[in-house]
Structure 1
Amino acid sequence: MNQFPGVDGFLGTRASWAMDTMVLVMALVVAVLAWSVYQVRAKRKFGLHKGVQILLAVGLLAAVVLFELDVRFNGWESRAAGVVGGTASAAVWTALAIHLAFAVFSVVLWPIVIIRAARNFDAPPHPGAHSTWHRRWAPIAAIGMTLTAVTSWIFYGLAFVA
């Protein structure tokens, strides 16, 4: 019988199914994001890059909405391995705060980069007047997304594995 609210995860930790899913989704996002950047930089496949970025954004949005619903309805603290006296430890809360800083940054910047690119690059996409702005902000958004993933894994490890 499940001793925690929500559906148990599948990675063998105390995390919920939604937490385990997001750990894997973020790994996939980082890998596909890196591959997509390689496609546009090394192979100049602008259309492929655009399509992949839009699919990543839509897929990640759907995953985050489902994840947030699970967290809002079932919480996470009761599952946390780092629980001390009924509340998560300071290390867990610190890791969560750092993760949320990167996550909020990414959730604001990544859509801006994607929407601006969709509006300002021609169809089919190719370098143009918007390229300078995009070459500055897209790598920052990609680094933000990568740091969001890394900090989510640190939080996951401290909260559900340690």
Structure 2
Amino acid sequence: MNDFSGIDGFLGTRASFAMDMMVTLMVLVVLALGWSVYQVKVGRRLRLHRGVQLGLGVALLVAVVLFELDVRFNGWQERSAGVVGGTASTAVSTSLAIHLVFAVTSVLLWPVVIVRAVRNFGNPPHPGAHAAWHRRWARVAAIDMTLTAVTCWVFYWLAFVA
């Protein structure tokens, strides 16, 4: 048991429960995202893809809100092994800044792609005029989400493991 504010994590590092939850969730998100895209590309399982994407969107929204509350109330710096004298190391600060670029753009882009898909593909979903826009921007959103995950893992490693 550490003497840090917040709930201790479950991955055996200095990170909080919320930090461990997000790092773990991002593994699942990337896997589910890839599987969902595969389902629509290969099997034309549009309804399954839609359900998975809506589920991921809701799960991420809830997780990010809970995570942000934890970070706002408990912080992360005191737990970080990459913080010296209250100031984050250059590597930790840089990795966090890079992560935030992808995280913020994902938070802005993913809802747009999801809402437009729900509005334009119908229920049950069917291909239409919106497909070209969706393919382009969903690909950008998926890459952005993957980079959010990768940069999350780098930050986590530098701040709480290394």
Match of 1:55 in 2: 55
Q: Is there any run of 5+ residues in structure 1 with no aligned partner, and where?
A: none
For residues 119-130 of structure 1, the aligned pairs below 5 Å read 119-130=119-130
Match of 1:148 in 2: 148
- Tell me the CA shift for residue 85 of structure 1: 2.2
Instruction: Give me the identity figure in percent.
Output: 72
Amino acid across the alignment from 1:43: G
Quote the RMSD (CA, aligned, Å).
Answer: 0.7
Matches of 2:30 and 2:100, distance apart in 1: 17
Matches of 2:84 and 2:64, distance apart in 1: 28
Amino acid across the alignment from 2:11: L
For residues 69-88 of structure 1, the aligned pairs below 5 Å read 69-88=69-88
Matches of 1:9 and 1:123, distance apart in 2: 40
For residues 6-85 of structure 1, the aligned pairs below 5 Å read 6-85=6-85
Matches of 1:122 and 1:157, distance apart in 2: 42
Amino acid across the alignment from 2:121: F
Please say if 1:97 is aligned against 2:94.
Answer: no
SS of the counterpart of 2:38? helix
Amino acid across the alignment from 1:115: V
Matches of 1:28 and 1:62, distance apart in 2: 15
Q: When the two structures are superposed, what TM-score results if normalisation uses the length of structure 2?
A: 0.98
Aligned length: 162
Amino acid across the alignment from 2:3: Q
Matches of 2:71 and 2:85, distance apart in 1: 21
Matches of 2:21 and 2:37, distance apart in 1: 24
Structure 1 stretches of 4+ with a deviation exceeding 3 A read none
Q: Is there any run of 5+ residues in structure 2 with no aligned partner, and where?
A: none
Matches of 1:75 and 1:147, distance apart in 2: 23
